[in-house]
Structure 1
Amino acid sequence: MTTRWLTPEEQRAWRAYIAAVALVEDALDRQLQQEAGMPHLYYSILATLSDAPERRLRMTDLAERLKITRSRLTYGVSRLEKDGLVAREDCPVDKRGSVAALTDEGMRLLERAAPGHVDTVRSLIFDRLSPEQVGQLEDIFTAIGSGVEGDRGQTTGDEVPWRRRASKPCS
């Protein structure tokens, strides 16, 4: 099989993507560390839990939504739990599973941190794009994400660590 090398246009686009992702992640981490004392990943955990029913999600579902490995999630949740921002609960249906729950203290911190975070996201990304470009950005990243994840049940999707599902839901 012959390698399909990137064209000069593809190489420029690839390098622009890599640079932009690194710069945006760094800026988000710095802003959240300064204003909320936490990295972007921890903020994402709190925000994802805040959107869940009863502010609770099974750990495997939380890992899938965040697109991170279960071990990385476990480390983050343990830290947030130590700070009283998240509580871990046993899954009532499957004793092997656990549920992460956003505490009231975690919700208060999220509510304080969200305005600065949104302002930073807006200034870094959306204020620089036209409405048409925002739609294109969504289309582009949706296509890339769908391609990487694959459809449920296909080999590509099964190999993604956050796709490994428990046999029973916690409810």
Structure 2
Amino acid sequence: MRADSGAADQALSSTELAIWRAVVKGGWGLLAEINTAMSAEGMSQADLRVLEALGDSRTRGISELAADVHMTVSTVSRQTARLVADGLVERVECGTDARHRYVRITECGLAARDRHVSVRNDLIRRLVVDRVTADEYQTLGEVFRKINGGLSDLPE
């Protein structure tokens, strides 16, 4: 296992490249299936990700929300405008600075989030959890926690 970053400029071996391609093919395939199912229910995965992030804390600034969901501020700003128009999110004033606005999920947004989480979770169960062992699923989570932790170490 390679955890050191000293080999950052080293080319991938054929085995490493084959594993990476399997990750990409499986990951994109899984996301495509989830996107298809979510679109059929009237919501994108990106919208759900924003609703989930808002549901965790209820009120967030756009910049904080964008960082949490790994999207640009402009993308999240446009996305929240659409969610506001749909009644799933509302804008609220920042008590200390009228120039800043926060967004929070509405009761309708919470219900939509829960409905769409159920659709997504059913797919995750069928396409991932039921196809691997409990240990493999645990390892998958550990691997992606490490990857996510390393993302904040990247230079801007």
Scaled by the length of structure 1, what TM-score is found?
A: 0.79
Q: 1:40 aligns with which of 42, 45, 58?
A: 45
Residues 4 and 99 of structure 1: CA distance in aligned 2, closer, same or farther (over 3 Å) = same
What residue in structure 1 maps to residue 147 of structure 2?
Answer: 144
Which AA in structure 2 matches 1:46? L
Q: Percent identity?
A: 26
What residue in structure 2 maps to residue 64 of structure 1?
Answer: 67
C-alpha separation between the residues in 2 aligned to 1:147 and 1:107?
A: 31
In structure 1, list runs of 5 or more residues that go unmatched. 160-171
Scaled by the length of structure 2, what TM-score is found?
A: 0.86
Deviation, 1:90, is 2.5
Q: For 1:6, what is the secondary structure of its paired residue?
A: coil
Deviation, 1:63, is 1.2
What residue in structure 2 maps to residue 164 of structure 1?
Answer: none
C-alpha separation between the residues in 2 aligned to 1:28 and 1:72?
A: 20
Kept in 1, the 8 Å contact 2:43–2:116? The answer is no
In structure 2, list runs of 5 or more residues that go unmatched. 1-8
Deviation, 1:93, is 2.5
1:27 aligns with 2:33: yes
What residue in structure 1 maps to residue 4 of structure 2?
Answer: none
What residue in structure 1 maps to residue 21 of structure 2?
Answer: 15
Aligned length: 149
- The Cα offsets for residues 55-109 of structure 1, whole Å up to 9 and x where unpaired, read as 2112222112111111111111111111111112222233343211111111122
Which AA in structure 1 matches 2:141? E
What residue in structure 1 maps to residue 91 of structure 2?
Answer: 88
What residue in structure 2 maps to residue 106 of structure 1?
Answer: 109
Q: 2:76 aligns with which of 59, 62, 73?
A: 73
Residues 19 and 109 of structure 1: CA distance in aligned 2, closer, same or farther (over 3 Å) = same
